[in-house]
Structure 1
């Protein structure tokens, strides 16, 4: 389970901000899992609302960056390349301000608190505590970038000193220990790898390949490539996309080898800080049943909504089956509100989410807060982001910061209150700028647009 995430100085997030998945109320209608040794419970879903450019996506991006720091700092970061972070840029000398990431999570029934502070060059601090029977105990604390700054608690056993000798200034001790097969720290490292997944436009191709690999394994277990496995078929048909099933072809091995050769050549010249996208992936065919039979379309021929849903199949099924955390940026993008609502409901419903999976998502879809939503989101599951107009820094805050007189019947008011500006987190449209735009257009100030269009027509005619 994810309990809490705190971040300072990442992208538009300048000052310390925190998002919590700890339940504020007991709601038997939703999945709530207890935290061992405490009276706390974790909510299955948290939604983050806010206007465009308010920093919603940076909440997910900060969580994703922390995950990759844990997974990649020892194995993949250039030893001489410092820390590839994204500090807040809208202030003097942004590189002089460190960034901090901290997370509370539960693995195998035990709560852990892990965090670190970095600057452009190195890890400045790192800490790991755990809470057996509710008592906070130190596993290790690092107070500098050098190995001799590590202080171990007596509860952390294993080859602690040997592992610390491999520590680099820009690598996390947790990453080094996992690479050296430290039993406990490898388990926590695995939670970041498998127990915390993210989904955004930038990683669609990777999510699609993950979905196809899952599909292939299920095909192989059944020995049948003609129809999609049951779970994926049910999820496809549930969405009412007119999709009967999926078929796939393995990536072209010659193209894969050529892509690897190009990447290796680039890395040799410029190092591993450059990422080359576009690796050949699975070729997906989407099956549709009509009165005349079953016909297939390639994935690019499908609607953007169908592609979005197919790209989510693997992460959603894996999260629900394994009880892991799925963080999705812009859940409502290219999905019908009713379908986005239904997806949220899968994680909220005790009869579907039987393994304690969690969904954290950003959205603009206010209808999820309203009376007509299939799934009711409660006040302890709703968060907002807002950007300060002077500093342009993001602030994250929960709806529970606002007093509601009739707390027993808030669902009637949440959507209306949000859209009326009661909670903020809405765009402030500048009507004066709109008036000036209208004047400029009527005065011929936008006539250059016609000239550009005419130039494009001439270029297109010449190309033809």
Structure 2
């Protein structure tokens, strides 16, 4: 998400340290089974191993490695690395693992603009730069199938705390799950400004809903969408529908908008697979424009999403360095991910038409020949 030298929409760029420029949005296109969702899944698996379901495996438990399937060679370790900013400080964190153990792990930061090691690990061998005695003790308490970034934070290690907090606070997923819905419900239940922002977005989306009310228990909430109807005389009457009776598009927007607003408020990185799912293209565009607008996105939230919606291939919406493609190599079944900037398109070029014509790759090949026989 590092910005290129593209001069378009410079106002939308964000700078976490006052020097480096980053794009707020990245769109990833590709055919079905091209591997674009795996880019999302890899990022979320990394988070899950730091602060999610796989963060605290029991001693001896297997790790969630899924090695490349299309090879007869022995499986290689899985490797992750991510470079990010937290409170203006740049971090580089990475690790590798197999089914049984963490093989390597490292964390660097740039507190004064210069690279400095926090820790490095090769199996059971650790290296530290600060607080060496205490961290050596913590390393001895770290099981071979656990990340040191996780175990050290359980003991309030100051050297790794902030790097860990980014995963916990700033990396979020918007999926069609109860988790996404709960963010919307929590905002409505808080009332005041939190609820007002949700209702304003629903009104802006022109879903016909004037208000949302929540009854029932926290375990079984009854979400009611309030509609106002007028008869021929102009008399207005209020009706309520259960959210389950609304259209799928309305339900998806309602479930998504809460976590969207939460990400904007936190300045988080929001990850979405198939952003257009069951929503009108204009609604999808509106959600993206919120993140692109520096006047709205004041806390530097970022959005990474996969999509098939060619209507978003618009250089008035996204810069050329914000549009990426995933293409699977037919012979090796490996996925190649590359940016639109590699093709140097003109600023006035019709990107959507060029993509559908196969100019940038990453589209399905629909074979010719007779599809039906008598």
Is the TM value for this pair above 0.5?
yes
Which residue in 1 is equivalent to 2:210?
Answer: 244
> Residue 198 of structure 1 contacts residue 328 of structure 1 at CA under 8 Å; is this kept in 2?
yes
Where does residue 209 of structure 1 map in the other structure? 182
> In 2, Cα distance between the equivalents of 1:422 and 1:119?
38
Matching residue of 2:63:
83
Question: 2:112 is paired with a residue of what secondary structure?
Answer: helix
Which residue pairs with 1:150 in the alignment?
A: 126
Residue 360 in structure 1 maps to residue 332 in structure 2 = no
Cα distance in 2, alignment partners of residues 232 and 30 from structure 1 = 26
Distance 1:123 1:365 in 2: 39
Task: Give, in whole Å, the separation in 2 of the partners of 1:326 and 1:91.
Answer: 33
Q: Aligned partners of 2:8 and 2:220: how far apart in 1?
A: 43
Distance 1:388 1:113 in 2: 30
Structure ID, larger Rg: 1
Per-residue Cα deviation, 1:48-74 (whole angstroms, up to 9, x for no partner): 011111111111111100000001477
Counterpart CA distance in 1 for 2:213 and 2:72 is 53
Mapped partners of 2:84, 2:162: distance in 1:
13
* Map of 2:152 onto structure 1: 177
- Paired residues for 1:20-99 under 5 Å: 20-36=1-17, 39-72=19-52, 76-92=56-72, 96-99=75-78
Q: How does 1:13-412 map to 2 (within 5 A)?
A: 20-36=1-17, 39-72=19-52, 76-92=56-72, 96-144=75-123, 146=124, 149-154=125-130, 159-201=134-176, 204-216=177-189, 218-219=190-191, 229-249=195-215, 251=217, 280=219, 282-291=221-230, 292-370=236-314, 376-404=317-345, 406=346, 409-410=347-348, 412=349
1: CA distance, partners of 2:149 / 2:221? 33
Aligned CA distance change for structure 1 residues 73 and 199 (closer, same or farther; 3 Å)? closer
How large is the Cα RMSD of the aligned pairs? 2.2
Pair 157,340 (structure 1): closer, same or farther in 2 beyond 3 Å: farther
Check the 8 A contact 2:108/2:119 in 1, yes or no. Answer: yes
**Structure 1 stretches (4+) deviating beyond 6 angstroms?**
none
- Aligned-pair CA distance for 1:158: 8.4
Match for residue 354 of structure 2 among 394, 414, 417: 417
- In 2, the alpha carbon distance for the partners of 1:388 and 1:79 equals 39
CA distance in 2, matches of 1:169, 1:354: 41
Classify the secondary structure of the residue corresponding to 1:67. helix
Q: 5+ residue gaps in structure 2?
A: 231-235
How big is the shift at 1:23?
Answer: 4.1
Answer whether contact 1:346 1:353 (CA < 8 A) is retained: yes
* Number of residue pairs the alignment of both structures matches: 369
User: Could you tell me whether the CA contact under 8 Å between 2:187 and 2:198 is conserved in 1?
Assistant: no
**With structure 2 as the length reference, what TM-score do the two structures score?**
0.92
In structure 2, what is the Cα distance between the partners aligned to 1:171 and 1:163? 12
* Cα distance in 1 between the residues matched to 2:223 and 2:86: 35
Deviations 1:400-438 (A, max 9, x none): 11133x4xx24x321221111110000000122xx1x31
Tell me the SS of whatever aligns to 2:262: helix
Q: Report if the CA contact (8 A) 2:213-2:226 is conserved.
A: yes
Q: Residue by residue, what CA displacement relative to the aligned partner does 1:225-259 show, whole Å, maximum 9, x if unpaired? A: xxx8211111111111111222223546xxxxxxx
Q: Write the distance in 1 (CA, Å) between the matches of 2:179 and 2:330.
A: 36
- Partner of 1:174, secondary structure, is helix
The SS at the match of 1:159 is: helix
